[in-house]
């Protein structure tokens, strides 16, 4: 079995794979700094709670956008799982070519999503990840990462609303019954969700227009992605396991 680890700005998401089959997933917050022992004990307990023996983990791969957790996290995996993790970064085999102006600026999470979307659905493909930021990445038919768009995520927008205004409350992010809101909470929900739908559809259409790719596939992932994907025909596929699958695919490419 292999352990795949996606370190995001909000959560660390773990997945356990046996060959190409996902066995289980679990999460912990990434904003809380931990020692290597705290990470190690937590990982072992979560594995055990999901009926996975730590001795069965024979490999690990990590993609991280939070550098300050990496020393403790990698140390924990080496000490408690007895494996040396593969880190997604420069020099790693991915199967795609980054042809943007500065390839080193592309985050490892975006590379992993691009690999998964290209391997699972083929190109050309536009990959949307509704995470802390909402990202849109274009991969061509021959596997070139050619462009990326970055926008504030839904939670960032929501947080700005209730933290930077005196009278607006914290609300659940969900689609209200109608866009014609008549009170504060549904008014905020309508602005957040319908605003994101509008942004998503416009960016997808503009990418298709400027790239000239009429047969462009559109694949979405990320925590709040399903809410948006269910409300627009512009998104062809919602794949909740895209990032973890991408990590598994990259691990297999490098193991060979």
Structure tokens that stand for 230 in this block: 């269910």
Q: With b meaning 16 or more CB within 10 Å and e meaning fewer, what string describes 85-106? A: bbbbeeebebebebeeeeeeee
| Residue 156, CB-side half-sphere exposure with 13 Å CA sphere | 12
Residue for token pair 């983990």: 57
CB distance 27 to 59 below 8 Å: no
Token pair belonging to 63: 């993609």
Bond into 124 cis (ω within 30): yes
| Contact call for residues 92 and 250 (beta carbons, < 8 A) | yes
Task: Choose, from 6, 37, 109, 245, the residue flagged as catalytic.
Answer: 109
- DSSP per residue, 23-57: EEEEEEESSS---HHHHHHHHHHHHHHTT--GGG-
Structure tokens at 69: 């957790």
Q: Tell me if residue 245 is catalytic.
A: no
Q: Is the C-alpha dihedral spanning 185, 187, 188, 189 positive or negative?
A: positive
Nearest to 88 by CA among 69, 107, 73, 66: 107
The residues assigned a catalytic role are 109
């Amino acid at each position: 079995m292999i352990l795949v680890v996606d370190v995001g700005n909000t959560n660390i998401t773990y997945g356990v794979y046996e060959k190409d089959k996902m066995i289980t997933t679990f999460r912990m917050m990434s904003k809380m700094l931990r020692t290597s022992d705290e990470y190690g004990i937590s990982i072992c307990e979560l594995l055990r709670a999901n009926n996975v023996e730590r001795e069965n983990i024979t490999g690990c791969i990590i993609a991280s956008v939070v550098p300050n957790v990496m020393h403790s996290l990698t140390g924990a995996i080496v000490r408690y799982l007895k494996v040396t993790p593969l880190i997604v970064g420069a020099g790693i085999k991915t199967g795609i070519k980054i042809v943007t102006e500065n390839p080193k600026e592309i985050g490892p999470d975006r590379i992993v999503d691009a690999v998964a979307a290209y391997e699972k659905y083929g190109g050309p493909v536009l990959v949307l990840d509704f995470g802390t930021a909402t990202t849109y990445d274009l991969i061509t038919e021959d596997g070139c990462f050619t462009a990326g768009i970055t926008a504030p995520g839904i939670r960032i927008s929501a947080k700005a609303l209730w933290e930077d205004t005196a009278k607006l409350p914290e609300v659940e992010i969900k689609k209200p019954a109608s866009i014609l809101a008549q009170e504060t909470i549904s008014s905020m929900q309508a602005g957040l969700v319908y605003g994101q739908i509008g942004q998503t559809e416009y960016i997808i259409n503009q990418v298709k227009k400027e790239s000239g790719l009429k047969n462009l596939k559109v694949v979405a992932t990320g925590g709040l992605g399903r809410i948006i994907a269910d409300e627009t025909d512009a998104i062809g596929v919602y794949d909740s396991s895209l990032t973890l699958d991408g990590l598994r695919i990259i691990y297999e490419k490098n193991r060979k």
